[in-house]
Amino acid sequence: QIPIFGVWQDINALFDTLRTPQRQLKDMLSAYIMPKVAEYAALMSLTYHSIKITSATSRFGSCTYDNRLFFSLMLIFAPKHLIDYVIIHELAHITHKNHSRDFWHLVHSFCPNAKSLRSSLRQEARIYPLLLQKIADFTSPYQQN
């Protein structure tokens, strides 16, 4: 079993034979993140350049100086409210390229419980790299030759 958006699911029933498990998870995460980023960006009156799902295991997201947003595939395991916090956090970096007081004020204005969500995410995420490895090692019975 693995958690998808925080809900534990049977790994054997989760994947199809047409795409790799990693590709399927990226597609699922993208389907959630893309409209959410657009929604929060509109609420925050911000414009971003692009969004990409990465295999990063040392961070959940990042924002470049030219406002490209990157989100780790590890977020597929997190409950959606924690993913939303990461989205707001990264969008706030469009305005503030640091973790200054002004940055945190912006984050908290759109996510008042950001501090507790950040703590919850860090606590839960200790197993996320192991889950990514489990996915990488997984071969569905349908994918075997």
Q: Is residue 94 part of a domain?
A: yes
Look at residue 4 and tell me whether its pLDDT is greater than 70. Answer: yes
Look at residue 142 and tell me whether its pLDDT is greater than 50. Answer: no
16-52 pLDDT tens trace: 777 888 899 999 999 999 999 999 999 999 999 999 9
Q: What is the pLDDT of residue 133?
A: 86
Closest CA to 34 of 59, 51, 47: 51
Look at residue 141 and tell me whether its pLDDT is greater than 60. Answer: no
Q: Is residue 55 part of a domain?
A: yes
Its pTM stands at: 0.91
Q: What is the CATH number of the domain that holds 128?
A: 3.30.2010.10
Range of the domain at 28: 2-136
Q: Give the whole-angstrom CA distance, residue 141 versus residue 73.
A: 23
Selected residue with higher pLDDT from 20 and 74: 74
Q: What's the total number of domains in the chain?
A: 1
Q: Is residue 132 part of a domain?
A: yes
Selected residue with higher pLDDT from 135 and 139: 135
Q: What is the pLDDT of residue 139?
A: 61
Q: Give me the mean pLDDT over the 75-101 stretch.
A: 97
Q: Is residue 73 part of a domain?
A: yes
Q: Is residue 126 part of a domain?
A: yes
Look at residue 126 and tell me whether its pLDDT is greater than 50. Answer: yes
